[in-house]
């Protein structure tokens, strides 16, 4: 059977790479500019990775042709939580143009892009119109869908993402269909660590002001809470709210829960679990918790990616 070669851009911890690897794709090369994310990726995906800005990739040293190009490109310019300045964002908005450059240079047969759902509606739909027009202009037939990891990945984390798949082959395009919904059978409790260090627990000594507020409201051990702007919010569906890169910026951005030992925040390992990384995930020593939280929040639901990758492979091997 043919070994399909993949190029993974903005690869982060390797969620997309692992999803494709799970169904037999060959991750030939990856790229990300975050040093700690590339360390995680290299350890767990065991594929070559270039730690550099996508703008600085030297295509003369890169394999000329790939079968699949993947990219979970920066979502901040289109996110509801950001400024929503889209392609005008001088730091991240240009990244889609770099993806187009990579597509032209490496000539993939399939593209796989991931972003936030608000890309569809940003600027009255104009931004997504640009994305689709540019990709179709390069000869791709486009399918796209918003999928929540609750419904499609058996993960108890609310995480809606837009997935864009493009095929050069019209036959593969016609054969492809997105995965259907599956039942959520796991609770967030299934993904918690058995032994959690004391540093993750809130105490009156460490956080006197915050502790006096959260102790009044965080009482249900069967759900997850958030503390933001002085308010405690309980998730009524007993699900984890969307994990974000803001978890790595300090403050109280990491979701909270209460167990037999007290009130604590999710550990970095638990955040990766809630993103669908399995027990084999290796977290190298020396990476700060703040960086791990950021990497986990920036990642993708691996189980959803795996199901989509399986459908892509079926359309190519039909």
3-state secondary structure of 68: strand
No. of helices (H) and no. of strands (E), the chain: 10, 11
Query: How many whole angstroms separate alpha carbon 231 and alpha carbon 310?
Result: 42
Q: Which residues are catalytic?
A: 75
Q: What is the DSSP letter of 82?
A: S
Torsions phi, psi for 294 (to 5 deg): -65, -45
- 305: Cα separation from own chain's centroid: 9
Torsion of CA 129, 130, 136, 141, to 10 degrees: -40
CA atoms within 13 A on the CB side of 227: 23
Query: How many whole angstroms separate alpha carbon 199 and alpha carbon 268?
Result: 12
3-state secondary structure of 241: coil
Sheet holding 5-9, edge to edge: 49-51, 26-32, 5-9, 68-71, 110-115, 160-167, 141-148
Contact, 161 vs 146, CB < 8 A? yes
Question: What is the separation, in whole angstroms, between the first and last Cα of the chain?
Answer: 12
In angstroms, the Cα distances linking 66 to 1, 4, 232 are 16, 8, 48
């Amino acid at each position: 059977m043919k070994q399909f070669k993949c190029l993974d851009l903005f690869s982060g911890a390797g969620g997309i790479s692992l999803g494709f690897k799970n169904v037999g794709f060959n991750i030939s090369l990856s790229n990300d500019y975050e040093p700690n994310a590339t360390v995680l990726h290299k350890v767990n995906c065991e594929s070559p990775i270039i730690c550099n800005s996508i703008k600085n990739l030297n295509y003369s040293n890169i394999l000329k042709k790939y079968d699949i190009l993947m990219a979970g490109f920066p979502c901040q310019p289109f996110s509801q939580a950001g400024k929503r300045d889209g392609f005008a964002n001088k730091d991240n908005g240009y990244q889609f143009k770099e993806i187009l450059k990579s597509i032209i240079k490496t000539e993939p047969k399939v593209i796989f892009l991931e972003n936030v759902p608000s890309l569809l509606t940003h600027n009255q739909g104009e931004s997504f119109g640009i994305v689709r027009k540019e990709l179709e202009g390069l000869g791709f037939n486009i399918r796209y869908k918003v999928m929540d990891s609750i419904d499609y990945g058996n993960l108890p984390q609310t995480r809606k993402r837009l997935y864009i798949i493009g095929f050069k082959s019209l036959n593969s395009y016609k054969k492809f269909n997105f995965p259907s919904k599956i039942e959520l059978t796991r609770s967030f409790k299934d993904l918690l660590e058995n032994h959690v260090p004391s540093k993750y627990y809130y105490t009156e000594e460490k956080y006197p002001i915050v502790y006096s507020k959260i102790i009044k409201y965080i009482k249900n051990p069967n759900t997850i809470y958030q503390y933001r702007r002085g308010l405690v919010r309980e998730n009524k569906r007993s699900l984890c709210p969307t994990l974000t890169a803001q978890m790595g910026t300090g403050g109280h951005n990491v979701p909270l829960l209460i167990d037999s030992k007290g009130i604590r925040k999710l550990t970095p390992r638990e955040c990766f679990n809630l993103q669908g990384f399995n027990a084999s995930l290796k977290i190298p020593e020396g990476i700060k918790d703040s960086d791990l939280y950021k990497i986990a929040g920036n990642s993708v639901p691996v189980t959803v990616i795996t199901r989509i990758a399986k459908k892509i492979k079926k359309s190519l091997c039909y």
